[in-house]
A and B are shown apart, each in its own frame.
Chain A
Amino acid sequence: MFTRRRFLCGATAAALALPAFARGLAAEASGNTILVSILLDGGCDGFNTVVPLNQYGIYSQLRKIPGTTQYLSVLESDVATAGTAFEPNYTVPSSSALSYGFHPNMTALRALYGKGKVAVLLGVGLPPADRNRTSHEVAKFDWATGSINKLGYTNLGWLGQTFDAIGATGALPPAVSMNYSSPTILRGAKRTPLVLGGDIGGFNVACGASGADCTARVNALTTNDAQSLPSIAADFARSVALDTTSYVATVKQYATAVTGADYPAIGKSGLKSQLKQIARLIRAGSPSRAYFASQGGYDTHSQQNSPGHHPDLVGELSDAVNDFYGYLAANGLSQNVVIMTYSDFGRRVQANSTAGTDHGTASVAFIVGDLVKPGVYGQYPDLTKLDTNGNPVIQVDFRNHISDLVGALGADPTPIVGGSYPKLGYI
């Protein structure tokens, strides 16, 4: 059963396992930290993302696909061939590592880990007191708000509240979404997040005409403030319109200044595209300090290992993060940028009858950047001790994890996560 003490012990042990010089390498967090959060949408299977080599027997046994002779588990030999095994001490080479293994498709992230740029958070999730934590809606909402059992009572996200607390001025809002939507995590009481989508060079109004007609149309668009229409929706539409028109010139300026022509190829990857746009904004000097990107497809109820599903997704994630970090580092911009991943929940250990896994609890998270003290935090759940639903026991309450990130941005996490949840100390 989860207790805070057990979690603290785990965290302390992990921290102590680090060589002293490694901890000294990390830069200091400061008031200009930029946080890039990546939602692994749908509930990422932690077990096939960070493989428990030190519990391989039970892991593999649980991952046998019922009624077949096949397994959903990652093969030890594939981890060895890919060289993605690792120890809490990031300096241990893959060839001598026996504890854990990144998925074999995550060679890029494994390499970053070896350079001391990655913290791996194990056993993180929503606590048992969180009712319906295996529901996408509830879990995503709770991860976004940093609270439990509050669906319907609040809609403010922990990043939005962070900027409510520390304030932010500037031509663009502090919080920026890259996927067209306005995610709860960014919503604050004070400033509406900026929502972008696609290539930031396209953040503009196409008037559908040319010359004087175009000018006249846009003039009418910007003159009309609909003040005399007494309507909630018109008020809202007007405020979005005023914000949007005021951001267009700034975004265009940034997009023109940094075209990203020297950014690694994104192919058809939506995640790589989102991270590329973020890199352009950061390099152009945008005042924004929190970015939201997402990667869908993790709700792998069936055929989890087929093309386009979990193995390809974590490979894409690994490459996308590596490209992003590499681009920032090459341009001298990585010192204050922290990348973090999170997901609705982990998945059940036992495979189901359709070669997939159902909704679970604990998962893994990655925190990447120069500010990060590398290594392993939390603990891998004991796969011999599952709860009555067949789920592993949470080792790290998500609110401890969020406390580190809120703190890194310069705010007090206590009022935001609704209590004192000691930081894990990876920053």
Chain B
Amino acid sequence: MKRGLRAFIAAAFVASPAIAHAAPATFATTYVSSAVPRGQTGFDAGVDVSQGRYVRLTASGTIALPGYSACRATTAEGCAAVSSPSRSAPDAATGSLIAAFVSRSGMLLTAWSPVGLAAYVAVPPDAARMVLRINGTTGYEFGAFRVVADVVGSADGAADSAVRDATYYRRGFPGTRTLPSQLPTRSDVQYAMRRFGFGDTPANVTAVSNSGVAAWIAQQLSPETIDDSALNTYVEPIPLYGTGPSTKDGYDNYDAILQRRIVQREIASKRQLLEKMTLHWLEHFAVSQDKVNSAAAMIRYEETVRTDALGNFKQLVSDVSVEPAMLLWLDNNNNDGSNVVQNPPNENFARELMQLYVLGTTQLNPDGSAVVDVAGNALQTYTDTDVKQVAQALTGFQRTASPNPGKVDPRTVEGVKFYPARHAKGPFTIMGQTVTDTGDPTIVGKVIASIASNPATAPFEVKELLQRFVTETPSPGYVARIVPVWNANADDPKQLAKVMAAIAADPEFYAGKGTMIKEPIEFAVDAIRGLNGAQATPFTPAMQTPYRSVNTVLGAMQQQQWYPPSVFSFYRPGEKESLLTNSLLLSRWSDGASLSNATRMTTLCPTCDVNLDLTSLTALAGGSDAQSAAGYVLDALVDGGTPQLRGLLQNYLANNVHALTPGAVWIVLTSPEYEVN
């Protein structure tokens, strides 16, 4: 009887002395077949990697299905190397050998495939063992392999450099003994730079690989230390009030400037994590120009969010709460608390403040799981009575807009004023806590401190950060390890930077690779950055990509910046099903991939609002042949891609590399690989 099992390899572990750093040693291990339940890491001993920093494997063996003959060829990679997987040929069992690092408690940390290409792979912190598994198409495959695993303290650069050229998409380290402090695989670096930023060119990925991605992350966590002055000359200036284009429906309007500015910052800022965090919070605290209808308020709002994006959470929420855009968006503007019995205040902002912005509807354990009653029902964090109390507490604020300010910086046009006479008198009782009231704007900070002290806050926010930056389904353990960092720094002005540092340093961070789908804005910006592209500034009305402007493309992909459809923003963080539906995928193929038409092959396109730079493809790729060109595009966009995609690109480019390069970019942008974040 077939069981729902993922075939697995158990190890006959050959004991060996612990490996000292910088002292290469070799394990010779024979693996035999064994099955473990799907998704588990297995009960075999694996190979002890706790004393090593890098692992290099060579493997030979076969993969088979029960009841069928093993695949005919035996190579370093098993059957996957000799036949493309096919579900219709059960007698040619297929699959690939995957290696995985496991923590001392048995938690899967990270996996890679295919093994056996003699590349060095970094041992993540906290890894205790390395085990093997088979990634097959049926779930029943098993195999027998002989594996030689070098667990070493450092990699031999000279030996590795020869390997690198032959195994492009799974590169080893640069041919030098100056090793990255950690995370040496190229796709690990690309992953980190894509999640904590919007990706980068192959040259910049190499630079970060050489200096160490940990150092890059550390720098990104302190954006004030990064000189970003060049950005000011790149980003389109904000027109003085009353001088911007005023048409609402044309392409050349004030909204369009706001939309282009945010994309320009994402493309060109050296403070990549700050921009990614800003994007996160702008989606967390989504406001739509559709209702706010004030570009001046939106500019202020964006700058406030960016200022606090890596700062303190309570400060961020407090600042956002009294922004003119938020007051207008959730009806807290001019909310009257002078007679709460006859004249109940509007509850819109109060409710979303608790439900969406700070703590969610259900009580949470520190690992993010729901607190349940004896019947298994989740318990609620707040009641409608709490909503009314918070609504009353936050009455009295009014957005002030200069009616005729003249030609001034629009950021000075919008303001907020507190009217004590329209503020409900405290104290207030919020989720059992008493919040005192002195009848002044300090009430905002007090209310938010009270709400944020709820135990659900940290797991709610941490889980959402993990879902945005690491994986759609973070493990309870991951949430539980970050939550104490959040709480310990609840009053620290750099709380969020410290939380992000802990997220990146966690052993599960790199297990998020390949688990998420790009948002449309990431689809566009990652492509532009990966291919050294730029948006033209200043924008002129004649400028479009050969088909459309970048922001029109974003709109077609249903992520028009500054116009989220609701308070829930565009998508649930990281949810694959909402990010990629049939129609959304077609818009990525038809509209998103049309960015490839902006590929700059020779000279700058003066009428394009974006140029993807492949002018120096020959130099960059080290050759103008199809293989080099395909390799370059794949490295820039999909961490090297799969052998299949590489083959398709090489065939496509075989006729004329330069004439067909936009098509090659199109093919990569429409591949399932590129959808992966």
Contacts and interface: CB of A to CB of B under 8 A. Distances in A.
Contacts of A234: 514, 672-673, 675-676
A110 to B, nearest CB: 30
B224 interface: no
Contact of B137 (A182, A227, A240): A227
A66 to B, nearest CB: 3
A196 B587 CA distance: 11
Contact of A195 (B137, B515, B582, B642): B582
A147 to B, nearest CB: 11
A239 to B, nearest CB: 9
B582 A243 contact: yes
Interface string B316-360: 000000000000001100111001001111111001000110000
A194 interface: yes
A3 interface: no
B380 interface: yes
B370 interface: yes
B384 interface: yes
A177 B584 CA distance: 12
Interface string B584-597: 11110111011011
B670 interface: yes
B111 A230 contact: yes
A2 interface: no
A180 B387 CA distance: 32
Contact of A301 (B331, B576, B642): B331
Contacts of B675: 233-234, 237
Given A152-B362, A213-B663, A353-B335, A233 B676 contact: yes
B516 interface: yes
Given A132-B361, A230-B96, A213 B660 contact: yes
Contacts of B25: none
Contacts of B346: 301-302, 352-354, 356, 358
Given A209-B663, A226-B642, A247-B582, A356 B111 contact: no
A216 B331 contact: no
Interface stretch (A101-109, A135-143, A259-267, A316-324): A135-143
A42 B348 CA distance: 12
B566 A352 contact: no
Interface stretch (B121-129, B176-184, B525-533, B645-653): B645-653
Contacts of B596: 208
A354 B580 contact: no
B344 A244 contact: no
B644 A228 contact: yes
Given A181-B578, A224-B644, A226-B642, A233 B517 contact: yes
A69 B584 CA distance: 48
A67 B336 contact: yes
B518 to A, nearest CB: 9
Interface in A219-262: 220-221, 223-234, 236-238, 240-241, 243-244, 247-248
A149 B111 CA distance: 36
B558 interface: yes
Interface string B623-651: 00000000000000000001111001100
B666 interface: yes
A353 B586 contact: no
B637 to A, nearest CB: 13
Given A208-B596, A233-B676, A234-B672, A217 B558 contact: no
A272 interface: no
A419 interface: no
A240 B660 contact: no
Interface residues of A, number: 69
B345 A233 contact: no
B317 to A, nearest CB: 19
Contacts of B438: none
Contacts of A6: none
Contacts of B362: 132, 151-152
B436 interface: no
A151 B380 CA distance: 11
B378 interface: yes
A209 B666 contact: yes
B12 to A, nearest CB: 25
Contacts of A167: none
B80 A302 contact: no
Contacts of A132: 361-362, 380
B578 A204 contact: no
B80 A228 contact: yes
Sorting the interface of chain B by its residue count into under 10, 10 to 19, 20 to 34 or 35 or more gives 35 or more
Contact of A180 (B342, B379, B558, B566): B558
B643 A352 contact: no
Contacts of B666: 207-209, 217
Nearest to B336: A353
Contacts of A225: 644, 672
A233 B675 CA distance: 8
Contacts of A190: none
A106 B346 CA distance: 28
Contacts of B380: 131-132
| Most chain A beta-carbon neighbours within 10 Å: one of B565, B585, B589, B596 | B589
A198 interface: yes
Nearest to A225: B644
Given A66-B339, A236-B517, A241-B585, A224 B378 contact: no
Given A138-B361, A234-B675, A180 B581 contact: yes
B648 A389 contact: no
A75 B336 CA distance: 26
B278 to A, nearest CB: 24
B85 interface: yes
Contacts of B387: 134
Given A66-B344, A206-B589, A181 B581 contact: yes
A230 B342 CA distance: 62
Contacts of B586: 203-205, 244, 248
A359 interface: yes
A379 interface: no
A57 interface: no
A276 interface: no
Contact of A221 (B355, B515, B576, B667): B667
B514 A196 contact: no
A232 B111 CA distance: 12
B135 A198 contact: no
B645 A226 contact: yes
A74 B500 CA distance: 52
A373 to B, nearest CB: 35
Interface string A121-139: 0000000000110111110
A350 interface: yes
B582 A231 contact: no
Contacts of A243: 582
B595 to A, nearest CB: 9
A356 B582 contact: no
B227 interface: no
A237 B111 contact: no
Interface in A170-222: 177, 180-182, 187, 194-198, 203-209, 213, 216-217, 220-221
B648 A197 contact: no
Contacts of A224: 644-645, 648, 667, 671-672
Contacts of A415: none
Nearest to B86: A227
Contacts of B370: 152
A149 B582 CA distance: 30
Nearest to B547: A208
Contact of B580 (A206, A236, A247, A302): A236
The 4 closest A-B pairs by CB, nearest first: A231-B514, A66-B343, A195-B581, A206-B590
Given A217-B670, A236-B517, 12 more contacts: A42-B566, A132-B361, A209-B663, A213-B663, A217-B666, A221-B589, A233-B517, A233-B675, A234-B673, A240-B585, A243-B582, A352-B347
10 contacts: A132-B380, A138-B361, A195-B582, A197-B583, A208-B662, A224-B644, A232-B515, A240-B582, A352-B343, A353-B343
